Chain A
Amino acid sequence: MTDFAEPGALLGALLPEITLLLGTLILLLVGAWGGESSSPTRRSARFALGIVGVTAVAVVFAWLRGDGFTTDDRLTGDGFRWAIDLVLLLGTAGALAIFDTEQLRTRAYQAEIPVLMLLALSGMMIISASRDLMFTYIGLELMSIAVYVLAGANRSSARSAEASIKYFLLGAFASGFLLYGIALLYGAVGDTRLSALGAATPSAMYLVGVALLLVGFAFKVGAVPFHLWTPDVYDGAPSPITAFMAACVKASAFAMLLRVMAEGIGPAIVHWHPVVWWLAAITMVVGNVVALAQPNVKRMLAYSSIAHSGYLLVAVLAYSQEAAAAVVFYLLAYTLATIGAFAVLGIVSEGRETTVTIDDLSGLWHVRPGLAVALSVCLLAFFGFPIAGGAGFFAKWYVIQAALASHTPLTVLVVVLVLASVVSAGYYLTAISAMFNRPRPSQLPMPVQTPLLSGIVMVVAVVALLVLGVFPTPASRLAAAATLRAAPLATPVAGTMTVSAPTVAATEDAGSTP
Chain B
Amino acid sequence: MASLQTASGHPLDGTLAEWVWLLPLLPLLGALVNGALVLWPRLVGAPDASLETREAEVQRRLTGSRLLTTLVGPGVLLLAFGLALGLFATMRGADALTEPFIRSYGSWMPAGSLTIDWALQLDQLSMLMTLVITGVGFLIHVFSTGYMAADAGYARYFAYLNLFVAMMLVLVLGANYAVMFVGWEGVGLASYLLIGFWFSERANAEAGRKAFIVNRIGDFGLLVAMFLLFSTTGTLDFTGAHAGMAIATPAVLTAVALFLFLGCTGKSAQLPLYIWLPDAMAGPTPVSALIHAATMVTAGVYLVARAAPIFAGAPEVSLLIAVIGAVTALFAATIALRQWDIKKVLAYSTVSQLGYMFVGVGTGAYAAGVFHLVTHAFFKALLFLGAGAVIHAMHGAYHHAHDHTSDPQDLRNMGGLSRWMPLTSGAMWVATLAIAGVPPLAGFFSKDEILASTFARAHGSPLAEASLLGVSGSGLLYGVYAIGLVTALLTAIYMTRLMLLAFTGANRTGAPAAEALHEAPSVMTAPILVLALLTLIGGWLNLPAILPLGPAHLLGDWLEPVTGASTRVLAGEAHLDHGTEMALIGVAVAIAAVGIVIAFLRYRSPVRTASESAPELGIGALVHDAYRVDAGLDRLVVRPLGAFSASVLWKGLDQRLDRAFVSGGQALARAAGYAHDRLGEGDVGRFAWVITIGALALLAAFTVR
| A contacts, CB < 8 Å to B | 165-166, 169-170, 173-174, 177, 204, 207-208, 210-212, 214-215, 218-219, 225-226, 228-229, 231-232, 271-272, 274-275, 278, 286, 289-290, 292-294, 367, 369, 426, 446, 471, 473, 505, 508
Contact = CB atoms under 8 A, between A and B. Distances in A.
Interface of B: 39, 43, 47, 106-107, 110, 666, 668-670, 672-674, 676-677, 679-680, 682, 684, 687-688, 690-691, 693-695, 698-699, 701-703, 705
Contacts of A219: 691
Contact of B698 (A214, A367, A505): A214
Given A293-B673, A471-B106, A208 B702 contact: yes
Given A289-B672, A292-B669, A369-B43, A275 B688 contact: no
Given A228-B687, A290-B673, A293-B673, A210 B702 contact: yes
A187 to B, nearest CB: 16
A211 B688 contact: no
B605 to A, nearest CB: 58
A215 B694 contact: yes
Given A207-B703, A292-B673, A174 B691 contact: yes
A419 to B, nearest CB: 11
A274 B701 contact: yes
A508 to B, nearest CB: 6
A294 B687 CA distance: 19
B563 to A, nearest CB: 34
A467 to B, nearest CB: 11
Contact of A293 (B106, B669, B694, B705): B669
Nearest to B47: A446
A297 to B, nearest CB: 15
Contacts of B670: 293
Contacts of A473: 106-107, 110
Given A294-B673, A369-B43, A207 B702 contact: yes
A232 B683 CA distance: 10
Contacts of A290: 669, 672-673, 676
Given A177-B695, A228-B687, A473-B110, 12 more contacts: A166-B684, A210-B702, A212-B695, A215-B698, A219-B691, A225-B694, A228-B680, A289-B672, A292-B666, A292-B669, A293-B672, A369-B39
Nearest to A216: B695
Contacts of B110: 473
Given A289-B672, A292-B669, A211 B699 contact: yes
21 contacts: A169-B688, A173-B688, A208-B699, A211-B695, A211-B698, A214-B698, A225-B690, A225-B693, A225-B694, A231-B680, A272-B702, A274-B701, A275-B701, A286-B676, A292-B669, A292-B673, A293-B672, A293-B673, A293-B674, A367-B47, A505-B705
Interface of A is mostly: helix
Interface-centre pick from A170, A232, A286, A289 (highest chain B CB count, 10 A): A289
B698 A275 contact: yes
A4 B397 CA distance: 89
A367 B39 CA distance: 13
A272 B699 CA distance: 10
Given A177-B695, A210-B702, A232-B680, A426 B669 contact: yes
Contact of B691 (A173, A286, A292, A505): A173
A211 B47 CA distance: 60
Contacts of B682: 232
Nearest to B42: A369
A287 to B, nearest CB: 10
Contacts of A231: 680
A469 B698 CA distance: 38
Contacts of B39: 369
A369 B693 CA distance: 47
Contacts of A271: 702
A471 B691 CA distance: 42
A228 B107 contact: no
A35 B676 CA distance: 49
Contacts of B703: 204, 207-208, 211
Nearest to B697: A225
B159 to A, nearest CB: 16
B702 A226 contact: no
